[in-house]
């Protein structure tokens, strides 16, 4: 039996994550950690967006494995399925259905201007660009507004997609009458942009070809040690944050979030010490912070039935909301053969 969430606010929070490979500390510090920290304040829904990952994940076994592994990671990181149900996007068919409806109030030009689309298609032949990466933001808009979402906690890279979602929802409401809540992005000041450890002007990404660029939540202590050792630094030897020192600033940011210190406090803590001691302490802090998550991850991985059971609880909760909303949308647009109005 599913218990109604006991949130202190009736604000709905929705966010999603692609099951494309391992989750990094960028995903954790920019998204999952915030979802967990706020979960008892809101009426939440979290989603593993498998349909969004189909373009990059073409092996069905890998797709299945990644979905379950990401679910296990999120539960291990502290997501409590009783107050923050987690489900898989394709288990609720209304996401894809609503995306089609919304494509009718989304302009070609708007999708062409999305920076993520421009980045991913840059320099490629038309024949090498899947239309799914163009259409992607419409499906994301459907994910969000299907649930009357108020707040969308995401990293900075998703800001533009949430803005577009607002425009799409507003346009639908104008054409067919008040139907969707207009959502807002919830982007934190710190952690919203964790950068690559190798090229600190690029965001840390799990799809980076160079595994030294990211730390995965599942990396063991030796791997963390090696990756921090190899992380690039800036030319002088001071542990201080500034736009001219993106590499060290990024490492200081990671340290600060995990130690619950501001950048100024991190700077003070390491004043007079060089990069050596800084990297050593950062390594220890990362190992120590990830250890409890990794221990729980191993437990969930050993019990895939439990992960499937928790995802089914999430699906049940999401399906009730999605079916009602989609029925309302179809009634408003007039599609379907029933004599409803």
Provide the annotated active-site residues: 120, 203, 206
- Of 105 and 252, CB closest to ligand AMP: 252
End-to-end CA distance of the chain: 33
Alpha-carbon gap, residue 15 to 31, rounded angstroms: 9
User: Rounded to the nearest whole angstrom, what is the least distance from the CB of residue 14 to ligand AMP in the complex?
Assistant: 11
In angstroms, give the least distance from the CB of 70 to ligand AMP.
Answer: 9
Q: Is position 228 an interface residue for ligand TRP (rule: CB under 6 A)?
A: no
Main-chain dihedrals φ then ψ at residue 338, nearest 5 degrees: -75, 155
Measured from the CB atom, the residue of 223 and 321 that comes closer to ligand TRP is 321
Site residues (CB under 6 A) for ligand AMP, limited to 143-162: 154-155, 157-158
CA distance 109 to 268: 48
Say which entry of ligand AMP, ligand TRP, none residue 27 contacts (CB below 5 to 8 A, set by partner kind).
ligand AMP
Q: Which of 71, 74, 140, 252 binds ligand TRP (CB under 6 A)?
A: 140
Which one, of 275, 122, 116, lies nearest residue 205 by Cα?
Answer: 116
Q: Which is nearer to ligand TRP, 112 or 207 (CB)?
A: 207
* Contact status: 38 vs ligand TRP (CB under 6 A): no
Separation of alpha carbons 74 and 33, rounded Å: 9
Residues 194-253 that bind ligand AMP (CB under 6 A): 194, 203-204
Write the interaction track for ligand TRP spanning residues 14-33; mark x where CB under 6 A is met and - where it is not: xxxxx---------------
In the bound state, the residue with its beta carbon closest to ligand AMP is: 30
What does the buried/exposed string (b/e) look like for 271-297 if buried means 16 or more CB atoms within 10 Å of the residue's CB? Answer: eeeebeebbebbbebbbebbeebbebb
DSSP 299-329: HHHT-HHHHHHHHHHHHHHHHHHHHHHHHHH
- According to CB under 6 A, which one of 76, 79, 152, 258 is a site residue for ligand TRP? 152
Phi/psi of residue 220, nearest 5 degrees: -85, 165
Assess contact for 193 and 156: CB atoms under 8 A.
yes
Only segment of 77-85, 192-200, 219-227, 279-287 that touches ligand AMP (CB under 6 A) = 192-200
Residue nearest to ligand TRP (CB): 16
Query: Residue 221 burial (CB < 10 Å; 0-12/13-18/19+)?
Result: middle
27 is a contact residue toward ligand AMP (CB under 6 A): yes
Q: Point out which residues bind ligand AMP (CB under 6 A).
A: 17-18, 26-27, 30-31, 154-155, 157-158, 192-194, 203-204
Q: Point out which residues bind ligand TRP (CB under 6 A).
A: 14-18, 49, 52, 140, 143-144, 152, 154, 158, 161
């Amino acid at each position: 039996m599913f218990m109604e969430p006991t949130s202190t606010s009736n604000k709905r929070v929705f966010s999603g994550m692609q099951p494309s490979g391992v989750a990094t500390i960028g995903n954790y510090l920019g998204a999952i950690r915030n979802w967990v920290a706020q979960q008892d304040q809101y009426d939440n829904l979290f989603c593993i967006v498998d349909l969004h990952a189909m373009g990059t994940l073409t092996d069905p076994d890998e797709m299945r494995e990644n979905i379950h592994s990401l679910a296990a990671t999120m539960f291990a990181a502290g997501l409590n399925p009783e107050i923050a149900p987690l489900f898989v996007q394709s288990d609720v068919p209304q996401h894809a259905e609503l995306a089609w409806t919304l494509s009718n109030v989304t302009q070609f030009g708007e999708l062409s201007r999305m920076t993520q689309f421009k980045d991913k298609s840059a320099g490629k032949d038309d024949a090498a660009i899947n239309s799914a990466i163009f259409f992607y933001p419409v499906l994301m808009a459907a994910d969000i507004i299907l649930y009357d979402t108020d707040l969308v906690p995401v990293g900075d890279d998703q800001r533009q997609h949430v803005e577009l979602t607002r425009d799409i929802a507003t346009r639908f409401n104008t054409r067919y009458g008040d139907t969707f809540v207009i959502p807002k992005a919830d982007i934190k000041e710190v952690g919203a942009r964790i950068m690559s450890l190798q090229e600190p002007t690029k965001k840390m990404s799990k799809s980076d070809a160079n595994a030294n660029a990211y730390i995965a939540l599942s990396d063991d202590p030796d791997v963390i040690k090696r990756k921090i050792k190899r992380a690039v630094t800036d030319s002088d030897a001071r542990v201080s944050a500034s736009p001219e020192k993106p590499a060290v600033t990024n490492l200081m940011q990671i340290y600060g979030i995990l130690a619950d210190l501001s950048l100024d406090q991190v700077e003070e803590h390491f004043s007079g010490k060089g990069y050596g001691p800084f990297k050593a302490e950062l390594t220890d802090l990362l190992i120590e912070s990830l250890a409890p998550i990794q221990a729980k991850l191993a437990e969930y991985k050993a019990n895939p039935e439990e992960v499937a059971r928790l995802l089914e609880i999430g699906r049940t909760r999401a399906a009730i909301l999605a079916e009602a909303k989609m029925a309302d949308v179809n009634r408003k647009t007039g599609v379907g053969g029933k004599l409803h109005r």
